[in-house]
Homo-oligomer: A and B are copies of this chain.
Amino acid sequence: MLPFARVTVVGLGLIGSSIARAVRASMPTVRLTGYDADAEVRETARRIDLADDIADSAGAAVIDADLVILCVPVGAMGTAAASFAEELPAEAIVSDVGSCKASVAAALTEALPGATIVPAHPVAGTEQSGPEAGFATLFRHRWCILTPAADTDPLATERVAEFWRRLGADVETMDAEHHDRVLAITSHLPHLIAYTIVGTASDLEEVTKGEVIKYSAGGFRDFTRIAASDPTMWRDVFLTNREAVLEMLQRFSEDLSALQRAIRWGKGDELFDLFTRTRAVRRSIVEQGQDDAAADFGRSHE
């Protein structure tokens, strides 16, 4: 028994197009509709046959749906939801994939009064963007976090949970505020730091950009991957999850100052102790299947 029969994906970038592909692969009898505000993306989606139907308006896309998933930047959620509010069937469940949950839930609730909303966040992605970057296995063995409000129908939550399990994800539920703090440290701050150091390296005068690129295998290149993520998506994340990001950033800066001081005063033991501790974190991530065990991310060395 499928959790939904008619699924509409609004926003056909990396995540939306991956959901479409994963639905096709795991629930082939689902009637799948797609929509994107960008006509060029709709054109591409039709050409690569992403869904049974690519609608030309958000309203037409949702008119028959029992699940509508918003896959647009978090700053655009409210507008996107408003664009189909009138055509949304009363019994449809609305979900999203945004990286910030408290503000998105508020925006959706405001745009869709009375609708059943089950916010979700699949913790998965790559640094690439657009409808052609997606793939069906993106969510496998990754976590999808649901953040239903206290008064959300548990059956609606369970149907969305089952949908994500069918796409290969493991599902966890927590409140939106806690989600936003967890993701501030596991995702938002890492992106912010990566963007910063790539910017810092680009702006040096005495070390050329050519040298930075040439010798990037010493560690720098690892940071450039997430610093190549979609600029609109990430601008919105930082503006939306502002408080939690600023708090985590404050903690990080304090820790960095402590390390700076240890280097300045030659406190080797402090450095060694931290570096030993951090090694264990990597081990746990690999053990829990959240990263490849292969050295160097399994990069090819041929």
Tell me the minimal C-beta distance from A287 to chain B in angstroms. 9
B285 contacts A197, CB within 8 Å? no
A43: interface (CB < 8 Å) = no
A212 contacts B235, CB within 8 Å? no
A296: interface (CB < 8 Å) = yes
Bin the interface of chain A by size. 35 or more
Contacts of A236 in B (CB 8 A): 268
A219 contacts B246, CB within 8 Å? no
Docked complex Cα distance between A225 and B254 (Å) = 22
B202 contacts A186, CB within 8 Å? no
Provide the A173-194 mask, 1 if CB < 8 A to any CB of B, else 0.
Answer: 0000000011101111111111
Provide the A217-229 mask, 1 if CB < 8 A to any CB of B, else 0.
Answer: 1111111111111
A182 contacts B199, CB within 8 Å? no
Contacts of A47 in B (CB 8 A): none
* A-B CB contact pairs (8 Å), 9 listed: A126-B296, A181-B207, A185-B200, A185-B220, A187-B218, A195-B274, A225-B296, A239-B266, A292-B300
B199 contacts A277, CB within 8 Å? yes
Tell me the minimal C-beta distance from A291 to chain B in angstroms. 5
Contacts of A99 in B (CB 8 A): 218
A196: interface (CB < 8 Å) = yes
Docked complex Cα distance between A183 and B220 (Å) = 10
A255: interface (CB < 8 Å) = yes
